Chains A and B, each alone.
Chain A
């Protein structure tokens, strides 16, 4: 055995260890954070609907808290309310796309979706240089991009926080119920280092989550909040404050993050362009980013052919897994890559073609989005004043 082969085998073992770490990471989170495994819910949904969207089927949604309450709406065929937003600091990337694809699927099951565009959060977290920038990205980039992902106009409402000051009155009302000690215990002092962050995390975010339960929006009812695992503290806080203020604690649905192109243990981040593929990237940029991405295969071809790759830790494969509805293609790619039949280079070429086609299609749809003023929330909030 040559030194190169020995090195490649060590590389393979190390990647295998990474896979275990990744799997444990999710199961440990479920246990540590007091979440419920989504697989129990999934079994029932699969029987009830016959076929599930691939995001559910491929376990991208892996945990929940209180989804049972939402299941009653599903079982009765009733509409239900979903809240999930994002902070506008960059164009949408494929990590965001996972969320909006899920929202789009939930709409087919009866979801009415509120999407707060948190221009204020982008600013206080220094992801943009001004609220104006963030606002511009929200209206000019984010909302049209989300709509181009297929969300139904009649079942979607947006608001950009800085243009909907009524939410701050509601936030002020809720802020009285959150004490600093509790806030620090949930978020840690590091993420509360300016007063804007304190008000945002302690109150504004809560206001977004609980707003649909105000009389102006139909009154108290169950709501579903799909989040990445890093958003779980917000849900804990909002469930607690909902109980204290007479609202119904929101249900949480937790999805896996789209891994960074550089590190499978981290998430794709809009503020780190090398980790993400934006829906605005051109074909050459996509190709370059994917070519430079970390993979689940080892660097020596002969060892790759012998041992195969580890698709579970491969950010390139995950692009296919998280975004390609064609189960046959995904399954075949997984098996060929895992067995070593498909090389890392071949996988990158295949995924590049796929991602470029998704981005092209998205750009076409985005050009057709048109006016969305009718989808902006402008209802005055007065019920608690």
Chain B
């Protein structure tokens, strides 16, 4: 990153005492370009139109960013890395405007074992392993992200207060109730309704305190609920950035044609066993480079960027890793770096900037 440019920007921002200046207007051109590229190449959709987001209206000087995930027994996916890295880069871009920022990853330990059919012990063991890997990731890529366990957050007074607020608004708002119904599977609706949507409301309570949330689009209804709560508290709305869906590697287009829900929403990025496709994902510490090579060879890899492309997503994760590890976020400003190279180049990138640094 051009640090002198960033310093100038910081001082300019500080001198501009008005907090009404849109945040993106206080960014350097290069950082604006990076932000534009992040939006273009990583973001599938946002909760609010960009013009209404806090990044543009600029009345906030303190940003809290969050991404939350749950786990299964199959391990930590390379797709989680994409979210960590995206959050980290966004955090850096905001921080360089002089804004106070904090990026958090919520480790959904409680949510991971809520479903009675899961192997609770197995998941807990996996979460412990993930914790080690997550520490290593933070140290290696200097992400400045804070990993917080859901179980710990549940004990805090901040969470308890947030949950009380969420429950109060939920009891008064039909819109909240409608959205809560959309957060649960149809076959679980009766059960969840009887439990007054406890789990959904807890999820919402966890995120209401954050300003920017990054996640897959399937979480949009939680974010909408959070904004109803924030509105009742007269707080500016949370902005959600939904990254492009995660697709399985090693499968051809017929899989997507047969699974329109995967085509539209992708797999759950942080659940390696999503749709039982753990063998078609890159699981950190489990999938070898040779296996990735084989998966890439048999993947549907269209040039048309509007079509699902798991190889492209893998490449983009590698690109973020490279930018962080070489401390050169500037390479994300150059559009030509987003052109998908050959499969071998993708593997080399993953090897050099993910496998070797993390000693996988």
Contact = CB atoms under 8 A, between A and B. Distances in A.
Contacts of A25: none
Nearest to B258: A68
Interface string A15-50: 000000000000000000000000011011001100
Nearest to A48: B253
A47 B258 CA distance: 17
A14 B253 CA distance: 43
A43 B303 CA distance: 12
A47 B253 contact: yes
B307 to A, nearest CB: 6
A47 B304 contact: yes
B252 A75 contact: yes
Nearest to A41: B257
Contacts of B256: 44
A43 B304 CA distance: 9
Interface string A39-71: 011011001100000000000000000011101
Contacts of B252: 48, 75-76
A74 interface: yes
Contact of A47 (B254, B257, B303): B303
Contacts of A69: 258
A74 B254 contact: yes
Q: How large is the interface on B (under 10, 10 to 19, 20 to 34, 35 or more residues)?
A: 10 to 19
A44 B303 contact: no
B302 interface: yes
Contacts of B258: 68-69, 71-72
Contacts of B253: 44, 47-48, 71, 75
A75 B303 CA distance: 17
A302 B257 CA distance: 50
Interface string B245-281: 0000000111011100000000000000000000000
Contacts of A75: 252-254, 300
Nearest to B259: A68
Contacts of B254: 68, 71-72, 74-75
B245 to A, nearest CB: 16
Contacts of B257: 40-41, 44, 67-68, 71
A67 B254 CA distance: 10
Contacts of A40: 257
Interface string B294-308: 000000101110010
Contacts of A74: 254
Nearest to A74: B254
Nearest to B304: A47
B254 to A, nearest CB: 4
With most chain A CB atoms within 10 A of its CB, the pick from B252, B256, B300 is B252
B224 to A, nearest CB: 28
Nearest to B309: A47
A120 B343 CA distance: 56
B139 to A, nearest CB: 41
- In this complex, which of B254, B256, B258, B304 has the most chain A Cβ atoms within 10 angstroms of its Cβ? B254
Interface string B89-109: 000000000000000000000
Interface in A63-104: 67-69, 71-72, 74-76
Given A44-B257, A47-B303, A48-B300, 6 more contacts: A40-B257, A43-B304, A67-B257, A68-B257, A72-B258, A75-B253
Going nearest first, the 3 A-B pairs with the smallest beta carbon separation are A75-B252, A71-B254, A47-B302
Interface of A: 40-41, 43-44, 47-48, 67-69, 71-72, 74-76
30 contacts: A40-B257, A43-B304, A43-B307, A44-B256, A44-B257, A44-B300, A44-B302, A44-B307, A47-B253, A47-B300, A47-B302, A47-B303, A47-B304, A48-B253, A48-B300, A67-B257, A68-B257, A68-B258, A69-B258, A71-B253, A71-B254, A71-B257, A71-B258, A72-B254, A72-B258, A75-B252, A75-B253, A75-B254, A75-B300, A76-B252
